[in-house]
Structure formats: structure tokens, C-alpha cells
Amino acid sequence: MKKTNKIGLFGGAFNPIHYGHLFVAKESIKTFNLNKIIFVPTGNPVFEKKELLNKQIRANFVKTVISNEKNFDVSFFEIEREAPSFFIDTLQHFNNGKDMLFTILGEDTFMQFHKWKLPEEILENSYLIIAKRYEGNFAGTKNYIKEYFTKYKEKILFLPHPLFPISSTLIRERIKKGKHISYLLPESIEKEIIKNGYYR
């Protein structure tokens, strides 16, 4: 069966979602000719995360931000499960045999990929798009692939782009220090965070 739709799965805590996430999603569509990006907010993370906002709030932030993007969608699959959010379960949920799947990861997240549950099975059923996070030319990432995933190197794609150094950690730290977060994330999310005192 020929797989015609190219679907990007963009998982993560989105704690909170910001312009860096949105830029990566849009750039992935343009660079790899994807039909759609599905944001999959983490429900109950396997690895402990500091200052993790309520999962329903984080997912609703994503839903609000992407509502006007025709090629963006959000899945509450992990949010609605009580089980830990192993990505292999999410991938199996979306693997319908018809679509070509692409898993989007930040470069820093990918460098821990060997610790994930069944990473080779993920690569058997999905391409990986690695979004550049650090300065340089992916040299360290390529060495990591040689060490752990040489067999799958053709399925690991790179997304070099001018991603400005925005991160959810940076936003949370600025909030705690009483600094502004304007222009780091959509205004609607900024207002909700400030109104409700999130991350303080």
C-alpha cells in the first residue's frame, strides 16, 4: 500500500508552548513537505519534570495557540491516559498503516533517545526529524547516531534552522524572576500565565 499522507508527530511537555515550538512545526512542514503536524502534549511523563503545569492546562494552551493553523492539530491521547507517556504507545496509536509518520524531536531530547522504551521500534515505524537546538553542525548528534543507531541513519533527518534560543525553561525562569515574557510566546498564553500566577 502506498503511503500518501506525511504526518508529523510533535510530542513534548509544552510547559509552556512558545514560538520556538511553533517555528519548528512550521519549518518541518515546509522542509519535509508534511501534510499535517499533530502536537501531542505529554500527559504523565516517564522522566520527572520540574515545575510541570497541570496537563489539561498545558494541552489547552496548545489547542488555543494552533487553532488558526490549518495544518496543525492537537491530540489529547496522552493527556487522557493514566498510564505513563511512553512514546511507543503514542506512535502505535497513530500508526494506521496509511500515513507516513515523522517524529519531531529537539536535538537535546534526541541525545537521550537510547533511553526511551523500544527506540528501535519507533525507528522501524517512523522517521525522526531532529530540530537543531545548539550551535554547530550536528556533529555531536551524528556521533551519537553512529554509536547507537547506525542501522537507522537513513531514517533520521535533520532540521537546520535559525531557531532563536527560546525554551520553556527560559520562560519559567524569567517568570520566577519577575521579568517579562512578551514576544517569547503567544500573547494569549502570556496573559493566562500572568493572570493565574503559573510558574511563580
Q: Which CATH class is domain 6-163?
A: alpha beta
pLDDT single digits (tens) 2-14: 668 999 999 999 9
Report which secondary-structure segment, H or E, holds 200.
none
What is the pLDDT averaged over residues 88-102? Answer: 96
Q: Give the per-residue pLDDT at 85.
A: 87
For the cut 90, the answer to whether the pLDDT of residue 138 exceeds it is: no
pLDDT single digits (tens) 159-186: 976 656 788 999 999 999 999 999 999 9
Instruction: Please report how many Cα atoms fall inside a 13 Å half-sphere around the Cα of residue 199, on the Cβ side.
Output: 27
For the cut 70, the answer to whether the pLDDT of residue 129 exceeds it is: yes
Q: Which three cell numbers stand for residue 69?
A: 493553523
**Exposure b/e, 43-77, CB count within 10 A at least 16 = b:** bebeeeeeeebebeebbbbbbebbeeeeebebbbb
Q: Give the per-residue pLDDT at 43.
A: 93
Of these ranges, 45-59, 92-106, 123-137, the one predicted with the greatest mean pLDDT is 92-106
